[in-house]
Structures are given as structure tokens and as C-alpha cells.
Amino acid sequence: MSQAVSDAPAGTKSVQAESGFKRFLRATEIDTRMLGMVGALLVIWIGFHILSGGTFLTPRNLWNLSVQTASVGVMATGMVLVIVTRNIDLSVGSILGVTGMVMAIVQTTWFTPMFGFNSPMVWIATIGVGLLCGLAIGGLQGFVIAYMGVPAFIVTLGGLLVWRGAAWWVASGRTIPITDDNFKIIGGGSDGSIGASWSWIIALVAIAFLAWSTFNARRQRHRFKFPVKPMWAEYLTFGVSALAVIVATFIVNSYLLPGPLARRYAEANGITMPEGGLEIAFGYAVPVLLFIGVGVVMTFIARRTRFGRYVFAIGGNPEAAELAGINTKRVTMMVFALMGMLAAIAAAISTARLTSATNAQGTLDELYTIAAAVIGGTSLAGGAGTIAGAMLGALVMQSLQSGMVLLGMDTPLQNIVVGAVLVVAVWLDTIYRRRAA
Amino acid sequence: MSTSMDTIADHGPAHHADTVDRSGPPLVEMKDISIAFGGIHAVDNASIDLYPGEVVALLGHNGAGKSTLIKILSGAYKRDSGEINVRGETATITNPRDAKKYGIETIYQTLALADNVDAAANLFLGREIMTPLGTLDDAAMEAEARKVMGRLNPNFRRFKEPVRALSGGQRQSVAIARAILFNAKILIMDEPTAALGPQETAQVADLIKELKKDEIGIFLISHDIHDVFDLSDRVVVMKNGQVVGSAKTSDVTKDEVLGMIILGKCPPGATPGPGAMRD
Ligand SMILES: Nc1ncnc2c1ncn2[C@@H]1O[C@H](COP(=O)(O)OP(=O)(O)OP(=O)(O)O)[C@@H](O)[C@H]1O
Ligand SMILES: [Mg+2]
């Protein structure tokens, strides 16, 4: 990285510096696209912070941002695999709507009477039914796409209408309120956060996991005597990610329960209110932890399992995948089934957050989900995309929206901005790909 | 096993003796195979066979039906009619997985690589090495990939890049490596050296000779008549989807084979097929 050429003519200096930066990127194996997205996110955040007169980068706003990102973010992780296999799913918003409605109904009409009010079985059974429902819907669409050969665009466009209609039909258009308090925790809200101590514990676990996976990757490469990353690069990437975890935890722990809620919390836990008020931190919201958990699992599926390998191979060359003996139809169907299940998880989050299932729930979410995946570097040509990128893409989309709300922009103007940003982001990505190729 | 005196003079110096044992049942027998795409009879009543340790060269003009015929054997296409026997027994091959079960491995003319993943992932596609925990063992696969690629293309270093980034010849090496990695009994090579440099081509020729010794049967499709005469024990020529004829390589001359390819004219040393020109 060094070999500074002090006596080089001035003209070659920038060339030297650039190749040094490139070498730095290669040594650390940093994904430059991800780096660019993090940069874009910071620009957006700082821009809104300045424009809003210092209200964007506050613990409260960032905490809300994290919760609002969860639902679409969960679906975006699945959309990556769908798009990687050269398909699309336009029905996820409607699947979210119908599974949310089904969960609300089974909870209020079956499980609460069956197991008793606030029994832990209620939320477990509710989520079980919701997941099965999403799995079945996604699996059905996947079957029609993979085995009957109807293009995904058409099947899921049909699904967009069918499942929205079904959502109306199961509840005759009513709004169904959620009664189970345990279920509401999934949505965040005042009881849906884990508090300061647990947040730090989770942060420590996450850092330990990062250390372990760094060490493990290195050991694997040593096992076969492959070239390894330089030690400083390992420390740097680990250090930066650990720092990010600590900063995030610090932020969510700086968001304190407002006065009345803190008082209620104190009463519920038998704490006497001290003079100056009680300082109780929110910590990580449950939906955010769920979102991160889904992201970790989906990354594992995409990178470490046979299924994930096949998904990418199919996206790269469907014919080659078939000739290699992969059951491409089954894999395709499974991708859509998984997508349906993730839509059900997103439905649980958003239903619990709104504390009711409404008929319009999830409307247009398919577009935000697709946009998140695409902004996150998933190629519509198939074969390329990362889960982490899509998660970051979801955060970018939500940041834009929340920021514009904070600035008091009208909805039509918000739509114009989001639409334009999507096109520009993909355009930049196209340029990036052309140069990388 | 040259039989007729008059052909000896025509043989190139590199020619080898036919040592293939054809007393047992053939390794593969494709009988009366036909397939049509729309109105085009891509393969029309073609029959070919292959014995252990034998290299059968499949020749013919562009669009003669060579690739289509072997794709039926590899399970890529479903035949309209005809039957396939492996070691004397009827084989059901309806997809690539079936073919692999019979030990049939294929190097496709199009290479059939997933361009977006690296060499190791391509080599093990569909047959990944897993850790005891059931996850992909990428390190073990990369180690195997380095071994086999070292044999075929010692200069190859780019194990971490998607194969899209490789040269045509490097990609071809990956496709060849994949076919020999899993103890093939029957190897189909559809123009395996089309993109290779002289050194790599020589390495593939050595590889073919080595595989022959291991009693592996090879269908070799090639337009390079010198390679064919160098490596094959028998030649089969196709024209317009039909078999013009077949012959032991030692019984025919290069000119005669060219005559079969271009005119469909069967020389005396060859056994005529349904596609032979009648005079
Ligand atoms: N999938 C397909 N659909 C329609 N027609 C096809 C298909 N595959 C092959 N054909 C036709 O079948 C015929 C034989 O093609 P094939 O690829 O087997 O030729 P080949 O002998 O391998 O030629 P080459 O030397 O150019 O590789 C051609 O006329 C081709 O157009
Ligand atoms: Mg061909």
C-alpha cells in the first residue's frame, strides 16, 4: 500500500493515489457499491438534518426510521432472490394485506377465545397461521410460474388484484383491531422495545459474532493454505463494523421514554418516580431486531446454502443450471414461497404496529420493496444482488420518505422525488456496472 | 488394426493402433434416435455406439445435428423416438440428472456455465461439497478446483472472480474440469478445444488419452480433422440429421472423411448409414 514515490513528477501523483485506494479496496474486500450506498445514505441524512433545522439526526427520529423501515425491509430481502432468478413479484403488498387481515381475524375470533386473553399461545398461533398463509400463497404463485410457465410478471400482477380482493373478502372490508398485547410487541410501540441493558447485550453478541465469523473465514482459508487478507485489513473491517454496532446501540439507547410513558412503566414495574423524572431508554425496537434477524438468516440462505447457490446460478444462466442437474422449477417455486412467508412476517410487523388490520394495508408496498432491492444493487437482468444491499436500500427509501414528511412536503411532491431518485439510482448503478465489467 | 493395404500409405505418421475391446456390450448404444424442432428434423433415425476406452469422433457440417444428438444422451433434450442403452440395458434419460446417474458427463459447445459465480461454484454446481453442518464448504471446493484446474490449465489463477471475467479458453477449461471431476464413465465433449491455445489443446489431448486408459468412453465432436485422426478410434459422420456412415479411423483417409462430411459419400472402408448418398 505504501511505496511512496516522492520524486515522481506531479502529474502521476493522482494516478498513484488512486491505485493505492484501489489496492486498499482489494485488500479489505470492501464492496464499493455498498460503500457508495452508505455514502449516499449519509448525504441524505445530513441533507435532511440541515434542511429540517436539526431535527432529522435525533435519536427519536432515527429510532422511528428504523421501525418504519422494518416491514418493507423484510420483504426486500426476499425480493432480492426473486429478482436474482430473473423474476419479479408485484403481489407482495397484497399478500401483506391479506395475511395481515387473516392474522387479525384468527386472533380475535379464534385464538383469543380459545387460549384466553393475552395467553402467549395467541401470538404464536397467530403468527403460525400467518406464515403458513403467506407460504401457501407464495407457493401457489410459484407453482404457476415455475411449473405452468406463466411469466412471473403476469402471475403476480394477477396476485396483486386477487390477494387485495381476498383481503377485503375475508373481513367484508372492515378494519379489524388487534387485541393481543403480546402480538403488539412485534410492531414496536411503547412496549415493543427491549430497553437499554438488553440492547447492549445484543450489541455485544453481535460484535462477538462478527469476531467469530472473521476468525472463522480466516481459519477456513488457512486450512487450505489459500492467500488471506492482510491482518490490518481484518482489524479494520472488524473495527468499523463493531463501531457501527456500538453507535447504533448508543443512538437507540439515547431515545428516552417520554414522561407519561415512563411513569406508566415505573408503576407497572413498581419503581418509585425519582424527583427529576425517570430516564428509561427505548433501546432496539422488536421489529428492528426481527428485521435484522431476517437479514442475517436470508444472507445465510443466499451465501451458505445449496438453495442460495442455485438461486444465483439460475439467475446467471438458467439453461446452465438446468444442465447442471438443478431442479430449477422447484427452486423457483421455493423462492416465491419464501417471498410469501416474508410478506407474512412484514404483515405481522405492520399489523402489530398499526394495532389493526385495514383493507388498504400494504398498498404500493410492492413498489417500495422492488425499489429497495434495486437501489440496493439487485440487477433486474438477474444473477446479481445482496441481501445487505437491499436492507440498506430499504433504509434509503424510508429515509427519503421520512425526511420529506419532516420537511412538510406534500405527498405528490414526495412521490415525484421518490420516483426520480429510483431512476437516477438505477442509472448510476448501470454506469457502475459498465465500468466494473 | 489396419486391414486393407492401400490405405496404409495415406495414414499420417501420428496414427495409433486400435486397441479397443469390442467383445462386450457397448458402453452406450443410441438406436434410431429422432427429434424434430417444429418442422426441422434435427436428428433423423440416427444410431451410434461407444465402447469402454474408445473415442468416437462425431463429425459433420454446421447444423448436421451433432450437438442435438449428444444433448439427447446428456438429458438436455427429450427424444421423439428411439432408445438408449447403457452397458446393454435400457436407460431412462429424461433430464440431465438422469444422465449423470449413468456416469454421463458433458462438455457443452456453449459451455453451460453460470457466468455470475466463480470457477469452483461452477465446477461443483449441483454437486456441492457440504460441511458437516450442512452449509456450503467453499474452501474445500476451491481447493479441489485448484487441483483439477492445475492439471488442465496450470496458469489459471482467477479462482475468486465470476467466470464472466475469464477468457474464452479459461472458461472452456472450467467446463472441461467440471466434466472430469466426478469420475465420468461416459464423456461427451462438444468441440472442447475450440477456444483453447496450442498448449491447452495439447493438454486436453493428453487428458483424452489418459481417460481412455481408464476405460472411459468418449464422444468427441470436433471440426478439426487432424485432432480427430490423432485421438479417435472411430469416426461417425452426420449430414442433415442423418448418419452418413461410420468407420474405424484407421480404415479411412482424411480425404475420404471430408468426402463423407461434404458430399455424404461413403467410402469402401466405412459402414454406410441411412444418410449415405446413393449412386
Ligand atoms: N433448440 C432448438 N430449437 C430449434 N431448432 C434447433 C434447436 N437446436 C438445434 N436446432 C436445429 O437443429 C439442427 C441441428 O443443430 P445442431 O446444433 O445439432 O448442429 P451441429 O451439428 O451441432 O452444428 P455445429 O457444428 O454448428 O455445432 C439445426 O438445423 C438447428 O437449427
Ligand atoms: Mg454443435
Q: Tell me, what CATH number does B48's domain have?
A: 3.40.50.300
Residue of A316, A356, A345 lying closest to A75 (CA atoms) = A345
Return d(Cα B171, Cα B173) in angstroms, integer: 5
Beta strand pairing call for B186-190 and B81-86: unpaired
Q: Which residue has the higher pLDDT, A279 or B255?
A: B255
Say if residue A2's pLDDT is above 80.
no
Question: By the 8 A CB rule, do A256 and A165 touch?
Answer: no
Whether the pLDDT of residue A226 is over 90: the answer is: no
Residue A14 pLDDT greater than 70, yes or no: no
Domain encompassing residue B204:
24-103+184-272
Q: What is the pLDDT of residue B122?
A: 96
Among A105-114, B194-203, B223-232, name the one with the lowest average pLDDT: B194-203
User: What is the rounded distance in angstroms from the CA atom of residue B226 to the CA atom of residue B254?
Assistant: 8
Closest by CA to B76, choosing from B39, B43, B44, B53, is B43
SS3 of chain B: helix, strand, coil, percent, to 5: 30, 25, 45
pLDDT at A11 over 50: no
B35, B67, B191: which to mutate for ligand 1, most atoms within 8 A of CB?
Answer: B67
Q: Per-residue confidence at B20, pLDDT binned at 50, 70, 90?
A: confident
pLDDT at B279: 60
How high is the pLDDT of residue B71? 96
> Facing residues of B106 across strands?
B188
CA–centroid distance, residue B63 to ligand 2 (Å): 7
Residue A426 corresponds to which amino acid? V
Pick from B117, B141, B160 the residue to mutate for testing the A interface (most A CBs within 10 Å): B117
Question: Which residue on chain A is closest to B117 by alpha carbon?
Answer: A313
Are A316 and B126 an interchain contact pair (Cβ–Cβ within 8 Å)? no
CA–centroid distance, B269 to ligand 2, in Å, is: 26
What pLDDT score does A6 carry? 38
| Interval between CA B179 and ligand 2 midpoint (Å) | 17
* Position B117 confidence tier, pLDDT thresholds 50, 70, 90: very high
Give the pLDDT band of residue A428 (cuts 50, 70, 90). confident
Give residue B21's pLDDT band: very low, low, confident or very high (50, 70, 90).
confident
Specify the DSSP class assigned to residue A107: I
- Is the pLDDT at B192 greater than 80, yes or no? yes
A13 touches chain B (CB under 8 A): no
Q: Is the CB of B68 under 6 A from ligand 1?
A: yes
| Backbone dihedral angles phi then psi of residue B11, each to the nearest 5 degrees | -70, 140
ipTM of this complex prediction, to 2 decimal places: 0.88
How many domains is chain B built from? 1
Amino acid of residue A36: G
Domain spans in chain A, listed from the N-terminal domain onward: 69-192+285-437, 193-284
pLDDT computed for residue B247 by the predictor = 94
By most ligand atoms within 8 Å of CB, the mutation choice from B34, B66, B222 for ligand 1 is B66
pLDDT at site B17:
59
What's the confidence (pLDDT) of residue A252?
Answer: 93
| Cell numbers placing A211 | 469476531
**Contact A435/B at CB under 8 A:** no
Q: Write out the E strands in B87-215.
A: 89-90, 104-107, 186-190
CATH code at A69-192+285-437? 1.10.3470
Residue nearest to atom 8 of ligand 1 (CA): B68
∠ Cα A28 A377 A70 (to 5°): 100
**Pairwise CB contact (< 8 Å): B117 & A315:** no
CB contact under 8 A, A326 and B126: yes
> Is B18 inside a domain boundary?
no
- Give residues whose Cβ lies within 5 Å of ion ligand 2: B 67, 109
What whole-number percentage of chain B has pLDDT above 90? 69
Q: What is the pLDDT of residue B19?
A: 76
Is the CB of B125 less than 8 angstroms away from the CB of A305?
Answer: no
Q: Which one, of B52, B212, B106, B47, lies nearest residue A320 by Cα?
A: B106
Residue B213 sits at φ, ψ, to 5 deg, of -60, -30
The shares of helix, strand and coil residues in chain A, as percent rounded to the nearest 5, are 75, 0, 25
Which residue is listed with cell 487432424? B226
Indicate the Cα dihedral angle A121, A127, A131, A134, nearest 10°: 130
Q: How far apart are CA B57 and CA B225, in angstroms?
A: 10
Q: How confident is the model over B35-64, as a mean pLDDT? A: 94
Nearest CA in chain A to B71: A323
Longest dimension (CA), chain B: 68
* CA nearest neighbour of A346 among A129, A99, A56, A150: A99
Atom 27 (ligand 1) nearest CA: B62
Would you say residue B226 lies in a domain?
Answer: yes
On whether any CB of chain B is under 8 Å from the CB of A433, the answer is no
* pLDDT value for B11: 41
Question: Of all protein residues, whose CA lies closest to atom 22 belonging to ligand 1?
Answer: B67
Q: Write the burial class of residue A286 (CB in 10 Å: 0-12 exposed, 13-18 middle, 19+ buried).
A: buried
pLDDT, one tens digit per residue, over A17-66 is 567 777 777 777 778 888 888 999 999 999 999 999 999 999 999 999 99
Helix (H, G, I), strand (E, B), or coil: what is residue B174? helix
Write the Ramachandran bin of B152: left for phi over 0, alpha for psi from -120 to 50, otherwise beta: alpha
pLDDT grade for A264, boundaries at 50, 70 and 90: confident
3-state secondary structure of B55: strand
Interstrand relation of B81-86 and B28-37 (parallel, antiparallel or unpaired): antiparallel
Higher per-residue confidence, A106 vs B15: A106
A157, A142 contact by CB (below 8 A): no
Cα separation, B240 vs B260, in Å, equals 12
pLDDT tens-digit map of A266-297: 777 777 666 666 778 889 999 999 999 999 99
How far is it, in rounded angstroms, from Cα B218 to Cα B200? 19
- The pLDDT tens digits of the residues spanning A87-139 come to 999 999 999 999 999 999 999 999 999 999 989 999 999 999 999 999 999 99
Closest protein CA for atom 12 of ligand 1: B42
Name the least confident of A2-16, B139-153, B171-185, B212-226: A2-16
Give the pLDDT confidence score for residue B1 in this predicted structure: 38
What is the model's pLDDT at position A228?
Answer: 82
B67 lines ligand 1 (CB under 6 A): yes
Q: Facing residues of A285 across strands?
A: A193
Name the residue in chain A with its Cα closest to that of B164: A437
- CA of B34: how far to CAs of B82, B99, B273, in Å? 6, 18, 14
- Average pLDDT in chain B: 89
Say if the Cβ atoms of B115 and A316 lie within 8 Å. Answer: yes
* Distance between start and end Cα atoms, chain A: 24
CA–centroid distance, residue B190 to ligand 2 (Å): 7
Look at A160 and A192; give whichever has higher pLDDT: A160
pLDDT of residue A18: 60
pLDDT at B135 over 90: yes
What is the value of pTM for the model shown? 0.90
Asked whether the predicted pLDDT for residue A15 surpasses 60, the reply is no
Helix ranges, A275-406 (H):
286-304, 306-316, 318-323, 328-354, 365-375, 387-406
The answer to whether B221 and B67 have CB atoms below 8 angstroms apart is yes
Going by their DSSP bridges, the two strands B186-190 and B217-221 should be labelled as parallel
Backbone angles phi, psi at B272, to 5 degrees: -70, 150
Query: In a 3-state reduction of DSSP, which class is residue B46?
Result: strand
Nearest CA to ligand 1 atom 16: B65
Task: Check residue A10 and give its pLDDT.
Answer: 41
Q: What is the pLDDT of residue B7?
A: 39
